Each structure stands twice: as structure tokens, then as C-alpha cells.
Structure 1
């Protein structure tokens, strides 16, 4: 047992022995904000109250109520879920240690910070401190009525509260409050990039890593949030048009009735949800209100031009086959094949499908289909066109656009992740690996090279391919957290060059490290032409 004093009181954690790390210190289930229950549901997090005596920090706190996008079922949780975990290799180091705060993904509707997935051993052996956390999800975290009762963005404001807690307390664990890196994957990466432009988080961190997601990805921004909130109330039986009545209705519902409901507002959303699930509640551009601190308001493009925190260094990129499991979340294989071959709107970029009708987008949909299918029929033996389309639509195109904008003022390192070993499990988990003739490096596969996921074989011989890939990946990430440069010396055998709109330099993080320029040049240039074409088409129509 080991005790640490933080601002709110005494914590008792554990001294842990690991074959991979040796000894480290674990503190789990630390409350970083007051329970968001009762009148605090949907509100920004409030400070945690100090406690007397010693608080046990040996077990994770409850996960937040959620819908599991893999099992497609509600999972048990508690609205009292705002807890974080701290893992440190040394409580009294000679020099304060760099700190890495992990923000989990899960499409804004599932996930937690627990060590069955996000264990610390791979990272903290590089002499950094790892912090993981829970934040409110789905309706409870991201419902928005655009008023003081439900202003929106509660879930990402939870993250801000956790970051403030770390800033104020991490020195007690041997950490450096002036050298904090935030990093996250998928929805967590969207949050990371939003923290880079929010006035609420300025000065709370020094560096950022965004894996397979940015604030520009369409699924990371809620579409017509107020309208969606009213539609949800109506679907649940509340037909009132009065905001206060709707707020009271939402406040009184058990969480099980609120979570996991699809409220599609456009034809594209209806197509995507007809057989599967897409997130309905995520980050909103908040309405400025007199008694509410705003996390984000205004336009995404303007924010990237004017609000990026000065001096924040960034790693950003995506996985080679990020789209491979995405279509499996949305449609089963038979429906995927049918829709890809027969629906004129299937290959339409979702951002355009939220603005315009299917008829208006026929021409663009047809050109996109030709680009991805090359005139071939989509079948069980030929699903790559669908995976490649979803990879670009959900992730790659908008991630690259973000990197270009961010690099105008700040240092950016861009990557494509293509490591493959027995740790690439997600295509198998979704039952789609047999439909591809190549090794699939799907969405989420990068996580297994940063964290010792419990359901993957934990015996990793030092002579194995996996061991070397894990060591190299975690070295890149922790080097960056320590120095701002992922390759500060020649130990990894490659100098990772910075990215900007002119050089477009990137690193392919595969079974070997290789440098390149202009990632996915042909495909990304084609997407740019499609957006240019749509701009001209609808500008002409409106005039």
C-alpha cells in the first residue's frame, strides 16, 4: 500500500510488480469532479468535495452509462462516473516526469479508462506518467437544447475538469505539471483536437496526439443539436414544445431510456442507420449564454485559423485501413454489397449528404462510385472499395485537411499506421478479415501497440516481432511527450520530418519505419475535386 496527498485529501493506492516494467504505482478510481446526478445531469462538472480520512484508490470507478457499439446493447454503468486513474513509475523521481493523459474513443457512446484495455505497462516503462479517465457519453454527455439547462458539451467539459485536476495534483505523483501531453484515438482524438482550440483548456497541456480523428471529422460534430433534442423528446413520448418541460422530462428519465436511440435527421443519416448505428450526440458549437462557460462556439474553420493554442505541438494521423470495420458497424455484409452496387447515394460524402438531397448529389455519387469500384461489382470477394470509401469519408480526408490547417501556425508530425502482427485483432473481432486479400490494419488496431489489452496474449517475448513494434511505437509517442520530437536521436533509425501543406512529409509506422510525402495523393486530390465541384454546383444553383 502507498499513500499520496492531493488537494482533496489522502489517497491510498498500490505498489505493483510487472514482468515488463518492474515496480510501478497504481491509483485507480480517483474522483475528479462531483457526481453529475440529480440537478447536475447535463450540466458542466462541478468541483469534487474534499474527503476526510484516507480514500481507497485500488479499484476503478464505475463506467458511465453507455451503448456498446460492438455488442449493440446497453451496458451497466452509473451516472456517478467521473473518475480517473494515475500510473507512475516513480513517486519521487530526481526530475519531475512527463505526463500523458489518455482520452478514450468509442464514438462518443461507449468506453472507459479502465486497465483491461488501457493498462499502463507499455508506456510507463519509458519513464512517463499515464492518466486515464471516464467522461459522460451519449445523451448524458452531449445532449444540447442550446439553453442554460442543457447547453451541450458536458462530456468534453468533464475532460477539462480532469485536465485541471491533473495540472493541480500530478506533482504529488512525481509528475511535471508543465509537461503534459493529451492523446486519444477516434472520438478521443476529436476531443484532443478540440482542446487545442478551446479557451477552456488553454495552458492545461503542452502537446497533443490525435489518432484517427480530428475536430473536422463530420461524425465528431453534432448536426442540428437542438432539433435532435426535440426529436428525441418526442420519440420518448414528450410532445411539449416548451424547453423547461422538455428539460424536466429528460431529467426525470432513467438513463436506460435515453441511451442508444437513433434520431436520424437527413437522408444520409437514415441510410447509415437503416441497418446499423452511428453516433447521434457529440460535440456542438455552443450558443453563448450569460451564465454558462463555453467550451467551443463558432465555426470549425475559423477556429483553426484563429484559435489554435500557440506553441502546442501535434502528432496526427490514421490507420491504413481505418474504414474496414466502420462499414461493419453500419451494415451487415449482404446489405453493404446491395447498397454499394445499387444505391446512388452510397458513395456520397456524408458531409454533403447532410446538406443536400440525394437527387442533387447524383452526379457526385456516381463519380465517387466509379473512383472506388473502378467499374467492378462489389462482392464478398471485393469489399475493398467499400472499406476504402469509408476510410476516406469517416477519417482520412478530413484528418489531412485538419493537419494542413493546424500546421500553418504549429508544428505537426503526420503518420500512417500500418503495423501488422497477431495484435491486430479488430477485423477478426468484427468477423470481416476473411473478406480481404491483404492483412487488415483496421480502426483501433493502433491501440494494441500502446496498451496491453487484456484479451490479447500478454506473453510477449523480447525476441518477437510484436515486442519490437510495441517498443518502437511507444518510444515515438513518449519521446514526443518528453521533448516535442518523436525521433530526437538515431535510436529508432529514422528521422520523422514535420508536415505542412507544402512538404506533406509523413512517416509510415509499419513493421519498418519509412518516410514519404503526400499521403494517398491520388485519392485525396479526387476528394478535393469533388468538394470543389459541389461548391460550384450549389453556388450556381443558389445564384
Structure 2
């Protein structure tokens, strides 16, 4: 999600990592019929000898340009030609590349990629659909970072996709039928395409697992609580993201739309004029991108991640609503998931991705630790309670001392909890009590090896733990990656891919990974069982338990009525 923080380090992942999975033998054409026509892909071979077929850049919607800009995606009825060349990946959503800082992609970005191992059996294979992260602002599902070589070796079909990002995917103007969440609706339409066509690629449309990381994981949870859950997909994996996290939903979406119009030189006298202006050719994707960060409010700059356009809770008048109820209300709805198996977890040092920015201005963070007080704990950023809470945090995380370069590990812990851990473990506790028919498998990824690339790129090797996104380089490969894997790295990569694939096949990742259980004793703190992914894997209890208990005490202190009300709901 936060790979934009890497840019300033002046490195490139491709220079560190280069095993050329794209250099394949026996590259021959393969044709498969789909509802829109015939797609022409390639049969290729992995270094392991496994043959597979890939179909790249398959369009799943009408290009969302012109009058379709910002609107819900329109299904593509047929290709322009009888046979469509699908040997090259399509454009990614228009964005600033986080590694090169160059502007890439286009509005015409609604493409997906299908990877299927050569048929070894007459049975249809489980399907895994990947949703990339990037804060709903950057990133893509293409094979430069998400080539599923190890997953294909587990006999699953893998689908990756691109969806609209930033204003193009999440602008909100309901008066004119722009109800928001176009990017999420792109994902939903891709899932519909999978249901209609994946059987032709030897995939089982009745056994689809939706998985994603960071903003992709938050998207996955939003899908699981939407009306199409258990219809368009049947299992869910959320890596380092849930929909209740503080950075997921958009703040003041109406203001952002009108302010963007003003910055681009348009009139905000009425909503019709706003939409006509924003859809006009004079408003280019580049112009919108260049003005996006200027939309952040002072409080967002201080206390939020810099992600202006994100999902919204739609109005009830939306004709194709993705989500129109507060996510917390949905989480508490009894057995809403109707038995859907779920994996949920995080990396041990998610906050490394944010500490790069923080350590350049430690004095500001030291003088204003209240910027890291959760907004659902103390709403007003300058309230006396916020200052008191910051004092409590300093005592717990920093032993009452000033923030220095020697306390960066402690700051990473605080950033991990603030941005991820508090809300993630809260979501797990709610799930265990309210979704009792839906098995939940919780994990923490602790492993630090040669493929923890985000940690290396951020030059944070001396800090403890696995960085946000580090597990992705064990789950996926880069298409031009030629570097040898160490024995330990290969073992961890095989283990996580095997567990994810087992979950897709059977609804359980491994025999020694047991699901989370509800806690019957209301007088004791919740006990969270989790699977530790490291050199030695196995079940443990209460990940980062001391820190979570500290935050329980903070909510009891500053939000006692709210805390007890939430406990009562469980």
C-alpha cells in the first residue's frame, strides 16, 4: 500500500530482484472462448517445468471514458474482433508510479489477467482472484509484481485485475448519479466476469477465493459484507487490511469533489455544471492527479495517511450500491457471512512503511504525539483528552522519554498499532463472536529473509520485524526476477503458497492451523489464537498482546460508555 514511501530511497526493486520468470520455453498460442468472443493467449513453462496458460489484458468492461468517467462500469458485450490478442497486459489505472515517480497508465484500465496450470485432471480447479493494494491511489495487478508462479504450482487458477484508482475510481457526486465506489464496482464486475467465463479456463466458478493486501484486503472485507458475497466468491483472505481501519473510508467526499472542481477552474454553482466540467476533455487525468493532494484538510495532513479518494458509504438511492450501511453495523450483524471461511492477519512490523517519513521529522512527532491518538478514541485533535492520551502513549511505548533515533523500533510498534493492529484485532474479535458459522484463521507474518524487499528498499534492515507488504514477495514473484532463492526463503514461499492454496481448495490452510474461537468469559480480555508464519510455524496466542491490552485500557479510560456498548454487542 505504501510503496510511494520507497521512492525517495532512490532504488528499484528490479535491480535487487531479477529471476526471469517471463523467459519461458514452448511459447505457443492458445485460444479460449468467452462470452465476448475468443481470447488468444500463450502456453508457457515455469523454471520448475510446470506448463501453464496465460491470457493477459482481457477487457472486462467498456472503457470508462467520456460520459462514463466516474460512473459504474458497463459490462463489455463483445470484442471489436472475433479473436482478441491477449498476450500483453493492459494499461494500469492512471497514477504516479511509486517507484519511478513517472505518470503511468490511462483511464482505459479495466483489464484482467488469467493464469491457469495445464490441465492435470478432469476436475475444475479452485480459482483465486487477487485485488492489489495501494491505498486506492496507486498500484496494479500486473505481473511485474504479481506473477503467481508458486501459486500455479499448487494447482489453482489465478486471476489478477486492475481497477480505477484516485478520483477516477472514488469521486462522489450523488446528485448526478455518481454514487462513489466505482473502483470497488470495477472489482465486482471482474468477479462477475470470472463467474461467467472461468470454467472455460478449467476454473471452478463455484469455488472462488478473493484475496488481497492492504487496500486490497480492505476491499476484500467490503466484498464479504456486500450482497454478492457467497455468490460471486466463496472464501476470503485479508492481508494487512480490514474495512474498519481508520484509513479506509473517505472523509468529506462532497467537499473533495467541489474543491477539485475549483482547483481545476470549474464552477461549483450546481452539481450538473460540476459533472459536465469534470467529464469534459479539458479536465485530463493528469490535471486531476496533480491537484489531488491539495484536497487534504489540515487535520488529514496531520493525523491521516495521505489518501484523498477512497470508498464511501453510499446513499440508499444508489441503484447499484456496493455498501450503503456503516461497516461496523455490518460486522456486528449475526452470521452475515453465512459460513464463509476467512483468513485475516498482518506483518509483525507494518509500521516500517510509515516510519521512513516519521524519522525525518522526529522532533515534530515528539512534540505532537497526539497526532497518533486514534480518532475513534478522541475525536477532537487538540482536545485536552488527546494530549492526556498522548502522554499515556509516551509512557507505554517510550518509557516516558523523548522520541529519538534509538527508539525507532518503539515508534514502528506504535505506527503498526495505530494504522493496522488495533482495528484488525478488533475486527477479528467481532468476527469470532458474531460470525460464529464462519471459520476465521488469524496469522502474523514474522519472517525476515532475503525477500523482505520493502524492508530492504526502505533501508530498515536494522529494525526488527517484517514490513508492510513484505509477505507479497513470498506469495508472488516478479516477472523479471532471476535471483536465486535461499533454502529458507524457498521454504517460507512454498509454505505460504501451499496454505493459501489449501484454503482455496478446502477452506482450511493446514491441519496445524486452528480457527479462532469466541471467548465465553466476559470478565476476561479476549484471547486471540493465531498462526505464526516464520522459520518455525505454529499456533500461538495473543499477537502483540501487551500492546493490545494497553489499547483496551485506553478505550476503557477515554471511551468507557462506547467500550462497554461494544462489549455488550459481542
SS of aligned partner of 2:247: helix
Does residue 334 of structure 2 align to residue 334 of structure 1? no
Identify the match of residue 271 of structure 1 among 278, 287, 302: 302
Higher relative contact order (CA 8 A, sep 6+): 2
2:517 equivalent among 500, 516, 528? 500
| Shift, 1:449, TM fit | 0.7
Q: Which residue of 2 aligns with 1:152?
A: 180
5 Å-filtered alignment, 1:371-410, equals: 371-407=396-432, 408-409=434-435, 410=438
Q: Is the 8 A contact 1:16 1:24 kept in 2?
A: yes
Shift in Å, 1:56: 0.7
Q: Where does residue 388 of structure 2 map in the other structure?
A: 363
Q: Is the 8 A contact 1:90 1:173 kept in 2?
A: no
Check conservation: 2:97, 2:104, Cα contact below 8 A.
no
Answering whether residue 518 of structure 2 is matched by residue 524 of structure 1, we say no
Aligned to 1:225: 253
The answer on 1:282 being equivalent to 2:310 is: yes
Contact kept, 8 Å, 1:82 with 1:135, in 2: the verdict is yes
State the distance in 1 between where 2:51 and 2:252 align: 50
User: In 1, Cα distance between the equivalents of 2:560 and 2:488?
Assistant: 50
* Superimposed CA distance per residue, residues 337-360 of structure 1 (whole angstroms, 9 cap, x where no aligned partner): 112221142331244466554544
2:159 is matched with 131
Give the aligned CA root-mean-square deviation in angstroms: 2.1
1:448 pairs, out of 454, 460, 473, with 473
**What is the SS of the residue equivalent to 2:163?**
coil
Cα shift at 1:327 = 3.0
Distance 2:448 2:369 in 1: 35
Q: Give the CA deviation at 1:233.
A: 2.4
**Does 2:288 correspond to 1:254?**
no
**Is residue 161 of structure 1 aligned with residue 157 of structure 2?**
no
Local SS of the residue matching 2:551: helix
Q: Is the 8 A contact 1:266 1:353 kept in 2?
A: no
**Is 1:43 matched up with 2:43?**
no
SS at match of 1:100: strand
CA distance in 1, matches of 2:480, 2:468: 17
**Aligned pair in 2 of structure 1 residues 235, 432: CA closer, same or farther (>3 Å)?**
farther
Task: Say if 2:528 and 2:543, in contact at 8 Å, map to a contact too.
Answer: yes
**8 Å contact from structure 2 (residues 230, 340) kept in 1:** no
Equivalent residue, structure 2, for 1:492:
none
Question: CA offsets per residue over residues 243-276 of structure 1, 9 Å max, x none?
Answer: 1112122212100111252256655412157xxx
Q: Identify if the C-alpha distance between structure 1 residues 511 and 397 changes in structure 2 by more than 3 Å, giving closer, same or farther.
A: same
Distance in 2 between residues matched to 1:201 and 1:355, nearest whole Å: 36
Does the aligned pair in 2 maintain the 1:92–1:173 contact within 8 Å? no
Could you tell me which runs of 5 or more consecutive residues in structure 2 were left unpaired when the two chains were aligned. Answer: 1-28, 520-526, 564-570
Equivalent-residue separation in structure 2 for 1:483 and 1:88 (angstroms): 19
Deviation at 1:446, TM superposition (A): 0.6
Q: Give the equivalent residue in structure 2 for 1:143.
A: 171
Give the 3 Å change call, closer, same or farther, for CA 486–168 of structure 1 in structure 2. Answer: same
Q: Are positions 1:310 and 2:334 aligned together?
A: no
In the superposition, the TM-score normalised over structure 2's length comes to 0.87
SS state of the match for residue 370, structure 2? coil
Distance 1:457 1:383 in 2: 33
- 1:85 and 2:113 aligned: yes
Between stretches 378-387 and 343-352, larger displacement belongs to 343-352
Corresponding residue for 1:491?
none
Quick one: distance in 1 between partners of 2:270 and 2:411?
43
Q: CA–CA distance in 2 between the matches of 1:25 and 1:455?
A: 18
Deviations 1:364-397 (A, max 9, x none): 1221222211123322232112211110111111
Q: CA deviation at 1:450?
A: 0.5
After superposition, residues 65-144 of structure 1 pair within 5 angstroms as: 65-71=94-100, 73=101, 75-91=103-119, 93-144=121-172
Q: 2:378·2:558 contact (CA, 8 Å) conserved in 1?
A: no
Q: Which runs of 5+ in 1 are unaligned?
A: 489-494
TM-score norm. by structure 1 comes to 0.91
Secondary structure of the corresponding residue to residue 499 of structure 2: helix
Determine which of 267, 286, 293 is the counterpart of 2:320: 293
Cα 1:455–1:311 change in 2 (3 A) is same
2:470 paired with 1:467: no
Displacement of 1:457 after TM fit?
4.7
CA gap of 1:453–1:294, structure 2 versus 1, over 3 A, is: same
**Structure-2 change in CA distance of 1:98 and 1:157 (3 Å):** same
Partners of 1:385 and 1:287 in 2: how far apart?
Answer: 41
Q: Distance in 2 between matches of 1:327 and 1:18?
A: 37
Q: Is the 8 A contact 1:347 1:369 kept in 2?
A: no
Q: In structure 2, how many angstroms separate the alpha carbons of the residues matched to 1:297 and 1:143?
A: 16
Q: Distance in 2 between matches of 1:530 and 1:501?
A: 23
Post-superposition offset of 1:161? 0.2
Q: How far apart, CA to CA, are the structure 1 residues paired with 2:392 and 2:143? A: 45
Give the corresponding residue for 2:14.
none
**Residues 123 and 474, structure 1, Cα contact 8 Å, conserved in 2:** yes
Deviation at 1:14, TM superposition (A): 0.3
Q: Per-residue deviation at 1:431?
A: 2.9
